[in-house]
Amino acid sequence: METLLNAGAPVTEAALAAIAHMPSASLPALMDDEFARRLSDADLMRIAVLLARKSHDEGGCPIGAVIIDNATRRIVGKGHNTLVQENHPYNHGETSAMRDAGRLDFGRTTLFTSLSPCEVCATLLHMRGVSRVVVGDVTNASGTEPLLRAKGVEVEILEDPQGIELYARFRAGNPELDLEDWKGLSATHRP
Ligand SMILES: Nc1ccnc(=O)[nH]1
């Protein structure tokens, strides 16, 4: 199939936004393997941040994640936090992207997350054997990177200034929702 995003197409913000918003299963109709191979780590982090923005536009917590196959750099899963949207007590950007990817061998994949993983997601990432995690924001949160590295996961920090700004703005305007997302409602009810 001839695709809109192909070997000759430039990697633009509009192209990354279209990728972020299209269901993963439909991505082969939008972009070919040549285009996928030209997406840099910074481009893939931009897609994670565009997913964070999508969640924010829906009234949710702005965290997104993208999973790629290491060999082909094809996107095999992506998603965003759905605490608000699905009334889900624990669906983080990372779990959402892994659910989208399905029953994969995560040892062959890299996960890009727009925000430093929480302890539960960090544990999930190493227990499912994810080979590499790229973190887009260690300014608003951090702390699980040493745990991931100790478990043999390759960790890279590749901060996205727009993602950092978006999360800082969300946290300043919604401190209770931010706390609920990290620690549950019980934490927001503590005196
Ligand atoms: N890394 C993350 C922190 C908090 N919530 C998320 O969905 N993801």
Domain at 106, CATH number: 3.40.140.10
Reported ipTM: the value is 0.99
- Shortest-distance atom of ligand 1 to CA 114: 1
Among this protein's residues, is 58 annotated catalytic?
Answer: no
149 occurs within a structural domain: yes
What's the pTM value of the predicted model, to 2 decimals?
A: 0.98
15 occurs within a structural domain: no
17 occurs within a structural domain: no
Closest of 134, 69, 138 to residue 106, by C-alpha = 69
**Which amino acid makes up residue 127?**
M
Which residues are near ligand 1 (CB < 6 Å)?
A: 63, 81, 92-94, 113, 115-118, 121, 181-182
Average pLDDT over residues 9-19: 98
Residue 12: pLDDT band by 50, 70, 90 thresholds? Answer: very high
Determine the structural domain holding residue 108 and report its residue range.
Answer: 40-187
- How confident is the model over 123-181, as pLDDT tens digits? 999 999 999 999 999 999 999 999 999 999 999 999 999 999 999 999 999 999 999 99
10 occurs within a structural domain: no
Residue 189: pLDDT band by 50, 70, 90 thresholds? Answer: confident
22 occurs within a structural domain: no
Residue nearest to atom 5 of ligand 1 (CA): 92
The b-or-e profile of 67-98 (16+ CB within 10 A means b, else e) is bbbeeebbbbbbbbbbbbeeeeeebbbbbbbb
CA of 6 to the centre of ligand 1 (A): 32
Number of domain units in the chain = 1
Residue nearest to atom 1 of ligand 1 (CA): 117
CA of 120 to the centre of ligand 1 (A): 10
The 3-state DSSP class for residue 191 equals: coil
109 occurs within a structural domain: yes
- How confident is the model over 48-72, as pLDDT tens digits? 999 999 999 999 999 999 999 999 9
